[in-house]
Amino acid sequence: EAQLGESGGGLVQPGGSLRLSCAASGFNFNDFQMNWVRLAPGKGLEWVSYISGGSASIYYADSVKGRFTISRDNAKNALYLQMNNLRGEDTALYYCAREYMDGFDIWGQGTTVTVSS
Amino acid sequence: QSLLTQPPSVSAAPGQKVTISCSGSTSRFANNYVSWYQLLPGAAPKLLIYENNKRPSGIPDRFSGSKSGTSATLDITGLQTGDEADYYCGVWHNNLTVLYAFGPGTKVTVL
């Protein structure tokens, strides 16, 4: 069974950094494009970042561009999101999601990031 | 402000049908497939519909999707209390600002 599991969230002060990880299992990880999506309190889903299977193509939402970096290690079946210069508006539940057939078919349970002083 | 438009809420009694609309104003919406996601409280989002009208394995046929031009709909028939959740449409927008756009979400309430 294909599964994703996020980790690395926590409480951080404004301007701080966090690195989120997403562990994949049950499928051939390097065959799939991966994404990070977040859900802020009281708001809707927001796409954050995309990375292709071989890491050749990477994209970011404008709201995180220049501050967040997506990467993957196919040998470890792992996806990462390095988040720097965090702001209050980055407070959210962060999900990793597998892309399939123009949709996101596998999601993790999410990891919570809280940016507050 | 979302690139896609959804009604904030819809409601119906158990056993009835609800329809959730999703509209986009750009050619990217018209030219790309729409997916639908269910977000139950405390759970990970679940893909209900992909490529406008296809259901992943395990999704009951009470959930159906359609799309025409710049508008898509998700129908839920035989409404159950367990269907009470937030529902989001999503589409690849494919520009440098927003690669993938989600709608603002629709809260389904079972009366």
pLDDT at B28: 79
Mean pLDDT on B30-56: 94
Structure tokens at A57: 């193509």
pLDDT at B3: 86
DSSP B25-80: SSHHHHHS-EEEEEE-TTS--EEEEBTTTB--TT--TTEEEEEETTEEEEEE-S--
CA separation, residue A31 to residues A46, A83, A110, B98 (Å)? 24, 25, 22, 23
Contact list in A for residue B39 (CB cut-off 8 A) is 39, 45
pLDDT at A45: 96
What are the tens digits of pLDDT across the range B5-36? 999 999 999 999 999 999 988 777 888 899 99
CB contact under 8 A, B45 and A45: yes
Parallel, antiparallel, or unpaired: how do β-strands B9-12 and B106-110 relate? parallel
The answer, yes or no, to whether residue B89 has pLDDT greater than 80, is yes
- Mean per-residue pLDDT over chain B, rounded: 93
Considering only CB atoms, A107 lies closest to which of B45, B56, B98, namely: B45
Checking phi first, is residue B96 left (phi over 0); if not, alpha (psi -120 to 50) or beta?
alpha
**DSSP bridge partners of B72:** B22, B67
Q: Which residues contact A14 (CB under 8 A, 6 or more apart)?
A: A86, A87, A88, A115, A116, A117
- Mean per-residue pLDDT over chain A, rounded: 96
Split at pLDDT 50, 70, 90, the class of B99 is confident
Test the B interface: residue of A104, A109, A111 with most B CBs within 10 Å? A104
pLDDT at B27: 78
CB contact under 8 A, A104 and B98: no
Q: Which of A80, A102, A82 is nearest to A4 (CA)?
A: A80
pLDDT at B93: 80
Whether chain B has a CB inside 8 Å of the CB on A29: the answer is no
Structural contact between residues B37 and B51, judged by C-beta atoms closer than 8 angstroms: no
User: What is the count of residue pairs from A and B with beta carbons less than 8 Å apart?
Assistant: 70
Q: Which residues contact B57 (CB under 8 A, 6 or more apart)?
A: none
Q: Which of A20, A1, A8, A18 is nearest to A79 (CA)?
A: A20
CA separation, residue B41 to residues A85, A90, B76, B82, B98 (Å)? 30, 20, 18, 11, 26
Q: Which of A31-40, A86-95, A98-107, B93-102 shows the lowest per-residue confidence on average (mean pLDDT)?
A: B93-102
pLDDT at A91: 98
Q: Which of A14-28, A99-113, B23-37, B75-89 shows the lowest per-residue confidence on average (mean pLDDT)?
A: B23-37
Split at pLDDT 50, 70, 90, the class of B94 is confident
What are the tens digits of pLDDT across the range A44-98? 999 999 999 999 999 999 999 999 999 999 999 999 999 999 999 999 999 999 9
The alpha carbon of residue B108 is apart from the nearest alpha carbon of chain A, in Å, by 14
Structural contact between residues B87 and B36, judged by C-beta atoms closer than 8 angstroms: yes
The answer, yes or no, to whether residue B96 has pLDDT greater than 70, is no
pLDDT at A41: 94
